[in-house]
A and B are shown apart, each in its own frame.
Chain A
Amino acid sequence: MSDTIALSDIAHGRSGDKGNHANIAVIAYQPAGFAWLREHLTAEVVAKYFAPLGPSKVVRYEAANLLAVNFMLHDVLAGGASRSLRIDTQGKTLALALLQMAIDRPPNYGNMTRTTHA
């Protein structure tokens, strides 16, 4: 039994662009997972994770009704859709990058995983 899991084991998400900024929504599968996100997935943690992309600022918002935290990563798209030289000009993949983050397995992990299937 591994001591780490991926963020994607307890949450899903989506990302997109706003000019040269990107937003990443991270949505917990369960209330227990949302409580974990709220406590551990801080703006500082996300800023550090994406440091190689050089965000000037990371702001976190919460939407408890959606079990979601939403991050705005400022100036992270190397110019944005119109002038970025990167393959992902619009930050479309940033949510999947964040969801691959390795996290310590929470003690109540069993209450955080996806149970319902569509």
Chain B
Amino acid sequence: MSGVRIGNGCGFWGDNLDAPILLARDGRLDYLTLEYLAELTMSILALQKQRDPQAGYATDFLDVLDRLTPILQAQPQLKIVTNAGGMNPAACAAKARAILDKAGLANRKIATVSGDDLLPRLDAILAAGQNLANQDTGEPLTSVRQRVVSANAYLGAHPIADALNLGAAIVITGRVADASLTLGPAVHALGWQWNDWDRLAAGSVAGHVIECGAQATGGLWCNWRDCPDLANVGYPIAEMNEGGSFAVSKPPNSGGAVNIETISEQLLYEVGDPAAYMTPDVVADFTSVQLKQTGQDEVRIDKVRGKPATNTYKVSISYRDGFMASGTLVLLGPDAVAKARLCGQMILDRLKRAGFTLDRSNIEVLGAGAVAPGVIATAGAPAEVVLRVSVHDSRKAAVERFSKEFAPLVTSGTPGVTGYTTGRPPVREVFAYWPALIAKNLVQAEVRVEP
């Protein structure tokens, strides 16, 4: 008996737009997951929703869904689980409904998962004695409360499985843990119990491995020279069996690679203690896991162990933190590095002359060991470098003035200045990240089959 096949066709908002289509077409999937929400995406979506009550979700998903409709016609079993709902799953679902109806798929149910948005009752939560302290610094949220733009708990797999149990063919969630997008369908399809920690851990590890899309199938692989046809990289599929062992693969005739190296690299990506990988659903132990190459581009993952989940949800909070911009110029040698440093300093000096001493600034000379500054140095003088200057200030006017100081260097800088073709660098508002925890009993996930 083969298990349930779950493929992830989108690792972040901005990922390749053809990947979900190709994966759904060729992957023989039961479930297609699509992940859109980076840590800071929610702050942008929250502001969009403030301006327009019908906005605040990942709009890319609707284009993808529209392109997926012929595949959904041809594969009636295929279901989609996505966190594209962002700050507004209901509005996203309404648009998705219209797309399905128009494509003759009126019989496919759409369900939403919400309850992650804590902003409307943030003060009540603080009053109830949850101080939502910053996990890194210990500071209580009250210190930035007035500047908070979004606050979302990472919900787990339970409401997703509930939505599928209600017959949903498409589940659109707000903020859920990335791994839960995979665990939810696995629990639903395989009938696992919510205290079967080893199986829940296996489903979460599967979700972790595939959540970043091509990073499991050859993307970022250190031995990239061995990676065939990365341009056509196949997105990852986890085929999970009832016992909690699963195989990671990719569609036939796609590029990329699935092997012990690519899977090991991705297993440990963004992981702290590998013996205690925490999700809302379980604490997974990666140190028990066994990897085995079981075929061309197929790795089996076995012996995942889990421990009971904690009694808290992680909360991702964002707050307004001033303005930033960064711009670039190119400097040709000789002495490209020295000239770049001088030009960068001129920008900051001219700002000072104009009355702006900025809160934070950084001059980087790309091509001269700036990416890991002071750690990796270049040997010899580079033929040319990219000067990159970045600033952060609480005053928008100061950052706007900064963005106007690049062009003057074309005539008043050192010889060898070029590459000023992209116009003034854009000024963007900064939303700083505040990680916190909240007691699970203060958060109620809501599952709704949408009309």
18 chain-A/chain-B pairs, Cβ below 8 angstroms: A14-B222, A14-B265, A16-B269, A18-B270, A27-B261, A53-B375, A63-B287, A65-B288, A66-B287, A70-B271, A81-B433, A82-B430, A83-B392, A85-B390, A87-B366, A118-B226, A118-B227, A118-B261
Do residues A63 and B286 form an inter-chain contact, with CB atoms below 8 A? yes
Interface string of B189-231 (1 = CB under 8 A from A): 0000000000000000000000000000000101100110000
Mark A residues whose CB is within 8 Å of B: 8, 12-14, 16-21, 23, 25, 27, 49-53, 59, 61-68, 70, 72, 75, 78-83, 85-88, 93-97, 99-100, 114, 117-118
Do residues A68 and B264 form an inter-chain contact, with CB atoms below 8 A? yes
B120 at the interface (CB under 8 A from A): no
Expressed in whole angstroms, the Cα–Cα distance for A66 and B390 within the complex equals 39
Expressed in whole angstroms, the Cα–Cα distance for A25 and B226 within the complex equals 20
Do residues A65 and B372 form an inter-chain contact, with CB atoms below 8 A? no
Interface string of B255-267 (1 = CB under 8 A from A): 0010101101111
What is the distance, in angstroms, from B433's C-beta to the closest C-beta of chain A?
5
Do residues B265 and A27 form an inter-chain contact, with CB atoms below 8 A? yes
Do residues B226 and A52 form an inter-chain contact, with CB atoms below 8 A? no
Report which of B257, B274, B364 forms a contact with A63, defined as CB distance below 8 A: B274
- Interface of A, secondary structure class, is mixed
Q: Which one of B24-32, B122-130, B318-326, B406-414 is at the A interface?
A: B318-326
Expressed in whole angstroms, the Cα–Cα distance for A27 and B432 within the complex equals 32
Do residues A87 and B370 form an inter-chain contact, with CB atoms below 8 A? yes
What is the distance, in angstroms, from A92's C-beta to the closest C-beta of chain B?
8
Expressed in whole angstroms, the Cα–Cα distance for A96 and B286 within the complex equals 23
Do residues A82 and B433 form an inter-chain contact, with CB atoms below 8 A? yes
Nearest-CB residue, chain B, relative to A75 = B136
Mark B residues whose CB is within 8 Å of A: 38-40, 135-136, 220, 222-223, 226-227, 257, 259, 261-262, 264-275, 286-291, 318, 321, 324, 326, 360-362, 364, 366, 370-376, 388, 390-392, 430-433, 435
Expressed in whole angstroms, the Cα–Cα distance for A30 and B257 within the complex equals 20
Do residues A68 and B289 form an inter-chain contact, with CB atoms below 8 A? no
With A50-B375, A82-B321, A114-B223 known as contacts, the answer to whether A70 contacts B268 (CB < 8 A) is yes
What is the distance, in angstroms, from A94's C-beta to the closest C-beta of chain B?
6
Expressed in whole angstroms, the Cα–Cα distance for A13 and B267 within the complex equals 11
Please give, as numbers and ranges, the residues of chain B lying within 8 Å of A67 by CB-CB distance: 264
With A19-B136, A61-B273, A87-B370 known as contacts, the answer to whether A52 contacts B287 (CB < 8 A) is no
Expressed in whole angstroms, the Cα–Cα distance for A98 and B390 within the complex equals 25
What is the distance, in angstroms, from A103's C-beta to the closest C-beta of chain B?
15
Please give, as numbers and ranges, the residues of chain A lying within 8 Å of B392 by CB-CB distance: 83, 85
Do residues A25 and B265 form an inter-chain contact, with CB atoms below 8 A? yes
What 6 additional pairs, Cβ within 8 angstroms, besides A61-B275, A87-B366, A93-B371? A12-B261, A14-B269, A17-B270, A49-B375, A53-B373, A62-B287
What is the distance, in angstroms, from B388's C-beta to the closest C-beta of chain A?
6
